[in-house]
Amino acid sequence: MIASATLFGLCGAALIGLGLYGFVVQAHLLRRLIAFNIIGSGIFLLFGASGARDQLASTDPVAQALIITGIVVALAATAFGVGLVLAFAKVTGQTHLPEESDARQRPLKAGLPDRSVQTIVKDPAG
């Protein structure tokens, strides 16, 4: 029990790092929402594991309840985010936010589909 808690806690920390990288590097809004969810579940794993490191009994029920609340809240935010991305795509035909300088809002260029592939990672299998 102790060993698995430590292991999953470390896994959670790694997931947070991974998700953060994905969130920053990717421009596609849906992929950012996926990265957001990965960070979220990493946080929950870290949290849950820290409540399970005492071998006396099972995982802390308060931590479990907080995590359940967190998962539901994350889903709510994700669902609204997806709706917002779709509404944005419907109006502009784009799936990422335009670069924006602080001083002046550049008007969005309409109608250019986003086909950019943001990650260039070699297939690990081959």
Partner 1 sequence: MLVDGITCALIGAGLLFFWAGTAGIIRFPDTHSRLHALTKADNVGLGLLIVGLALQAPDWLTLGKLAMVWALTLVAAGTTAQLVARAAITKPAARRGPASTAAIPGDTVRSKDRAS
Partner 2 sequence: MLAIVALVTLPLVAALMAVVVERRGEWIALLSVIGVVIALSVLMPLVATDGPVDLVIGGWQAPLGITLRADGLALAFAGMAALVMAAVLVSARTLYGASPSEAETRGQWAFWPLALLLWGALNVAFLSRDLFNLYVALELLTVAAVALVAIEGKRESLAAALRYLMFALMGSLAYLLGAALLYAGHGTLDIGLLAARDIGDASGATGSRRASDIMAAGLMTAGLAVKTALFPFHAWLAPAHAGAPAPASAILSALVPKASFVILLRLWFEALPGLTTPALLATLGGLGAAAVFYGSVLALRQNRLKLIIAYSTVAQIGYLFLVFPLAGGDSYAQPWAAGAWTGVIFQALSHGLAKAAMFLCAGVWIIAVGNDRLSGMRGLASATPMTMSAFGIAGVALVALPPSGGFTAKYLMLTAAFASGQTIWAVVLLLGGLLSAAYLYRPLAMAFSRDDDATFAPVPRSLQVAPLLLALAAILLGLGSQAPFSLIQTGRPAAAAEGLE
Partner 3 sequence: MSGLAATGFDLMLCALILGAALAAIAVRDLFGAVVFFIVYGVFVALAWLRLEAIDVALTEAALGAGLTGVLMIGAVSRLERLTSRDQDQDAAGPQSPPTSSAARIATMVGAAGIGGGLAWGFITLPPSAGLQLAVAENLAASGVENPVTAVLLNFRGWDTLLESIVLLAALIALWSLARDQDWGRRPGLRQHARPGGVMATFGRLLPPFGFLLGVYLVWTGSAQPGGAFQGGTVLAAVWLLVMMAGLKAAPRVSSTRLRWALIAGPLLFIGVGLAGAVAGTFLGLPTAYAKPLILTIEAGLTLSIAATLALLVLGAPMAGDGLGPDQPDKEPAR
Residues of this chain that bind partner 2 (CB under 8 A): 16, 23, 29, 32, 36, 39-40, 43, 46-47, 50-51, 62-63, 66, 69-70, 73, 76-77, 80-81, 84-85, 87-88, 91-92, 97-98, 100, 102-105, 108, 110
Site residue total, partner 1 (CB under 8 A): 6
DSSP string computed for 35-70: HHHHHHHHHHHHHHHHTT--TTSSS-HHHHHHHHHH
Q: At what angle do helices 29-50 and 61-92 cross, to 10 degrees?
A: 180
Number of residues located near partner 3, criterion CB under 8 A: 93
Residue 5 touches which of partner 2, partner 1, partner 3, none (Cβ within 5-8 Å per kind): partner 3
Under the criterion CB under 8 A, does residue 14 sit at the interface with partner 3?
yes
Let me know: does 74 contact 35? Beta carbons within 8 Å.
Answer: no
